[in-house]
């Protein structure tokens, strides 16, 4: 934060930076895993930063959280058991719990402090934390997945930090193999997969690893995310079955979910990939 009260995240690999005007710094803490900072901004509401990277703002998190939850849940024939790896701010959890078919959601985040600070500074994301279907574990999602029972989950949502620090292992072949084993035979994994403009070197290998670990279908969704590098983001789904065959389009079209971004048309539009993306996939 400079002396004129701007928070700036520099994205070295994109040669760019994004700044938000700050009112005040509300919190600053080094946990055993990462540095967490919370700011009050002028126009984006409260802002959470982990290790210098924007995690979420009150103003635009709805796009990311809805796109992490609803496309994958409407792509599964009967999503009952959901596991969220990461997701400590609880925004994705809130969206998942909007689905009546979901009977249990287990959230496994390595750092309890993220959830406690979300409760304090982003209470609107935590409104469903006391839902009887929600359970919380504060431990490493990589180790949890290694030990998970075969077929225990219908949907796995990896809502983690970038592939650095404690999240590095969440982008490996070993982790995807463990997810594949933990999913039932119509199971689907979805993971946040960075910027299509800046991070094809992450997205491309990720998609290949998903296929090489046994997933039969891989789809990348594109959506805007103003406070992330380049303002353009992706989530990648990996299904054991063909995702277009298990997609519940009728349900997505007629759902009465309270959303601000997601609807069935947005879902279809998000699946359209730009030309450079097709060319980069060999």
Annotated catalytic sites, by residue? Answer: 159
- Taking alpha carbons only, the member of 225, 228, 83, 230 closest to residue 148 is 83
User: Closest distance between ligand SAM and the C-beta of residue 55, in Å?
Assistant: 4
CA distance 79 to 147: 21
User: Which positions lie near ligand SAM, rule CB under 6 A?
Assistant: 55-56, 64, 85-89, 108-111, 114, 140-142, 159-161, 166-167, 170, 192
| Residue closest to 108 by CA, chosen among 146, 70, 75 | 146
Minimum CB distance to ligand SAM smaller for 225 or for 255? 225
- Compute the least distance from the CB of residue 216 to ligand SAM, in Å: 26
Structure letter (DSSP) for residue 149:
P
Which of 113, 207 has the CB closer to ligand SAM? 113
Query: Which of 148/264 has CB closer to ligand SAM?
Result: 148
Rank residues 90 and 264 by Cβ distance to ligand SAM and give the closer one. 90
The CB-of-177 to ligand SAM minimum distance in angstroms stands at 16
String of DSSP letters for 8-65: EEEEGGGTEEEEEEEEEEEEEEE-SS-EEEEEEESSS-EEEEETTEEEEETTTHHHHH
Q: Which of 53, 56, 20, 71 is nearest to 261 (CA)?
A: 71
Q: H or E element: which one contains 81?
A: strand 81-86
**Smallest gap, in angstroms, from Cβ of residue 51 to ligand SAM?**
10
């Amino acid at each position: 934060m400079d002396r004129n009260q701007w928070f700036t995240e520099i994205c070295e690999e994109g040669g760019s930076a994004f700044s938000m005007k700050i009112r005040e710094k509300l919190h600053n803490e080094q946990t055993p895993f990462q540095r967490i900072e919370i700011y009050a901004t002028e126009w984006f509401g409260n802002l959470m930063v982990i290790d210098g990277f924007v995690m979420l703002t009150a103003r635009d998190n709805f796009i990311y959280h809805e796109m992490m939850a609803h496309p994958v849940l409407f792509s599964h024939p009967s999503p009952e058991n959901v596991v969220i790896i990461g997701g400590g701010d609880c925004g994705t959890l809130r969206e998942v719990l909007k689905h009546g078919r979901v009977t249990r959601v287990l959230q496994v985040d390595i750092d309890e402090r993220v959830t406690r600070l979300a409760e304090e500074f982003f209470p609107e994301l935590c409104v469903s934390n006391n839902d009887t279907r929600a359970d919380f574990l504060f431990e490493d999602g990589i180790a949890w997945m290694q030990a998970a029972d075969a077929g225990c989950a219908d949907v796995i949502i990896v809502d983690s930090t970038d592939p650095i620090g404690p999240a590095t292992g969440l982008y490996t072949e070993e982790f995807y193999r463990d997810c594949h084993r933990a999913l039932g035979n119509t199971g689907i994994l979805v993971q946040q997969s960075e910027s299509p403009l800046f991070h094809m070197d992450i997205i491309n290998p990720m998609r290949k690893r998903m296929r090489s670990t046994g997933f039969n279908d891989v789809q990348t969704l594109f959506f805007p995310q103003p406070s992330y590098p380049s303002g353009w983001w992706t989530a990648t789904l990996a299904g054991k079955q063909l995702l277009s065959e298990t997609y519940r389009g009728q349900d997505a079209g007629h759902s009465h979910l309270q959303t601000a971004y997601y609807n069935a048309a947005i879902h279809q539009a998000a699946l359209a990939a730009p030309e450079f993306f097709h060319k980069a996939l060999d």
